[in-house]
Structure 1
Amino acid sequence: MRIVDVCAFYSPQGGGVRTYVEQKLRIGPALGHEIVILAPGDEDAVIERDPGARIVTLKSPRFPLDRKYWYFNEAPRLHAALDALAPDFVEATSPWRSAGLVADWASPTPRSLVMHADPLSAYAYRWLGDVFSRQTIDRQFSMFWQHLRRNSRRYDYVVCANSDLSRRLDEGGVSRTVTIPMGVEANRFSPLHRDPALRARLLADCDLPESAALLLAIGRLAPEKRWPLVIDAVSMASQQSPIGLVMLGEGREQRTILRHIAGNPHVRLYEPERDRAAFARIMASADGLVHGCEAETFCMTAAEARASGVPVIVPDAGGAADHARGGAGRTYAAADVHAAAEAIRSVVRERPRPAATARTMDEHFGDLFAAYEARLRHRRAA
């Protein structure tokens, strides 16, 4: 198949979508498929990758709220690009405007809407959840629900990476939802990468001895990630035993988070580690990974921690919670700093080393593309 991913939020500067795209470009051709990423950018361009993999960009405006990204602003140009690419299957990988643009494309080509974002959890529930019930919030955001329901009827699949999101969408009347969990990069993460000397250096950076616990917090510096809650929870837990927190991330909330750290010598914020081998060593060398976001569609970093034999401390809602199952970590009541602190204390006290288990991205794409092939065969037979 030639699969075209209309990827509105791809940025070469990083992020979870970029990681997903890079693995799709590598794994898709190995499975016998041609992969084309169709993304907005500064100019019209074609970036060839390995045989059977390329990125095509359409000149588009920068996204005003985050200048690392662009957005499709001309439906006719997007539709013309799809006509020229002639895909066997097309994906829209953002639930926002591009979902409607792809749904409007006048072609019988089968298509899927891949939910790389959970906007209601990331924004509406987070902003208003302390005041209103979810049912009330859903009524107030009925236009977005209508947008999802309307578009879902024009897609063959609405693909979710966790069962909680699939359930909520299904209960909200969104048609054709399927759960196809993502996974980690194959043969990358392992407890064998644990490096005591690296762990000691990271704790020293936090002005702590090797006897202290080392926690990681990894991800974009964005409001929905709730990094201030994570910092506060670690500070509360560290009143009973010493804990160093190493944060790896970048984003528009960097100044806010640095102000929240307020010079605490036991908390360090660094840029992301882009060397994947070095990153795998850092992950395996920690005593736990702590996360604050209840709006994750999958939570790649928690999956990578699980594959590294590192316990996770995650909210009990959203995709992150899946990675704590089977004794692989602790969940806490989402958005509750005291519950998070107690979960951290439990992990630091027990220092568990859970078995390293993880689904791989090869398995994810194998299942995803098999679903596409089945739908394509059904369409052709009909």
Structure 2
Amino acid sequence: MRIVDVNEFYSPTGGGVRTYIDRKMAVMADMGHELIVIAPGRRDWVDDRRGGRIIYVKAPGMPFDANYGLFWDAAPIHALLDRLAPDIVEASSPWRPAWIVGKWQGSARRVFFMHNDNVAAYPMRWFERFAAPEAIERSFAWYSRYMSRFLAHYDAVLTNGPALAKRLTARGVRIDGAMPLGIERGHFSPALRDERLRADLLADCGLGPDAHLLLGIGRHHPEKRWPLVIEAVRRASRSRRIGLVLIGDGYERRRLERLAAGAPNICLRRPMYDRARLAAIMASSDALIHASEAEPFGLVASEAMASGLPLIVPDSGGCAEVADRHCAELYRARDAGAAAEAIGRLLNRDPALLRRAATVAATRVRTDVEHVRDLIAYYEALLPRRQRVAA
């Protein structure tokens, strides 16, 4: 089967989407399928990979994030789709790509794959001080109606997990199925825990090895709510010795640096592309803390769980969906005080029992192979019988 993904969110310097697609391409290749990504780039060029390729089409950059581009012209994308003759075409951006793929005249099955919730990520955050969540939802019902118009052109509408499916269905958006993502579980393991590395990370926070080490990983973007995490750690640190290491980057970095100023127990680190090193840091920490209730799936939470790392996460969103309650504390979303209390609850647990529960949970994390296998089975069922046999 040949799948073409017209993906505005793919970038060679991107985060979760790039990681997901690169791994998905490799897994599909192992299963005998081909994945080709059409992505915006600064110039036209092709990056050949095992089992597929990334075709970059020259496009304007995103105004507020130089890592990404924006599609506008349909002609070059339609020409590529005509030439590639895919079995399935995927789209995930609700802006121009949704219409470009939806109105392409080819015979392939079209699938819209929902990776994010723009209402939760933006207006719910922008206006939370002025109105209740229900009122904000009602005010932005027009966005759901807009999505329904382009989704009418698609054969199937999928989400990357149950959290997003529940939200969108509640708004009246058509959802045909949830395809929970998975991770490369073998890359992460509780066995990678390194007490010397843990001590070094705590030393960077000005603390000794008897302190607690919390880890935060993600883009420095407002929807991640890192200021809430910093405030929660400040509050929790009044009664215990806690170090926080935040790994990531983005246009909010300077703000986070200002918020962390004067708090030597909070250490900001640049993104880490050495996955073996990152896996070791995960396994060597005491808990992962996250604050984005807009997270549609929670890949980083799954990676942390596969590393044997307990979670401190909000009570709504993708991280809450994947959290194992035996080794996690949930707190009221958007509430720094509740997050501080959740930190205290987790650190008050028996460390040996908590670590044992987290080690068991690590073996249950969904894998990317399981995700791709389920996705391929769904796509094969969409194809006409003759095409299915050929695939």
TM-score (norm 1): 0.96
Name the SS for the 1:143 alignment partner: helix
Name the SS for the 1:68 alignment partner: strand
Distance in 2 separating the partners of 1:96 and 1:283: 35
Counterpart code for 1:97: R
Q: Paired residue for 2:254?
A: 255
Tell which deviates more after alignment, 140-149 or 359-368. 140-149
Name the SS for the 1:247 alignment partner: strand
Distance in 2 separating the partners of 1:176 and 1:161: 11
2:141 touches 2:171 (CA, 8 Å); kept in 1? no
CA distance 1:77–1:315, shift in 2 (3 Å): same
Q: Paired residue for 1:153?
A: 152
2:116 touches 2:164 (CA, 8 Å); kept in 1? no
Is residue 361 from structure 1 mapped to residue 368 from structure 2 by the alignment?
A: yes
Distance in 1 separating the partners of 2:29 and 2:284: 33
**Unmatched tracts of structure 1, length 5 or more:** none
Could you tell me how far 1:219 is from its partner in structure 2? 0.2
Is residue 45 from structure 1 mapped to residue 40 from structure 2 by the alignment?
A: no
2:163 touches 2:297 (CA, 8 Å); kept in 1? no
Which among 369, 382, 391 is matched to residue 375 of structure 1?
A: 382
Is residue 238 from structure 1 mapped to residue 245 from structure 2 by the alignment?
A: no
Q: Paired residue for 1:125?
A: 124
1:186 touches 1:362 (CA, 8 Å); kept in 2? no
Matches within 5 A, 1:1-382: 1-50=1-50, 52-350=51-349, 351=351, 352-353=354-355, 354=358, 355=360, 356=362, 357-377=364-384
Distance in 1 separating the partners of 2:386 and 2:131: 44
Name the SS for the 2:376 alignment partner: helix
Could you tell me how far 1:46 is from its partner in structure 2? 1.1
Q: How many residue pairs align between the two structures?
A: 380
Counterpart code for 2:126: W
**Unmatched tracts of structure 2, length 5 or more:** none
Name the SS for the 2:169 alignment partner: helix
Could you tell me how far 1:380 is from its partner in structure 2? 5.7
Counterpart code for 2:123: A
CA offset digits 1:30-83 (Å, max 9, x no partner): 111111010010111111111x21010111111112111111110122111111
1:203 touches 1:214 (CA, 8 Å); kept in 2? yes
Distance in 1 separating the partners of 2:9 and 2:270: 21
CA offset digits 1:331-370 (Å, max 9, x no partner): 1110001100000111122232222131111111111111
1:153 touches 1:175 (CA, 8 Å); kept in 2? no
Could you tell me how far 1:153 is from its partner in structure 2? 2.2
Could you tell me how far 1:378 is from its partner in structure 2? 5.8
CA distance 1:379–1:228, shift in 2 (3 Å): farther
Task: Give me the identity figure in percent.
Answer: 47
Could you tell me how far 1:147 is from its partner in structure 2? 1.8
Counterpart code for 2:324: R
Counterpart code for 1:190: S
TM-score (norm 2): 0.94
After TM superposition, what 4+ stretches of structure 1 lie above 6 angstroms from structure 2?
Answer: none
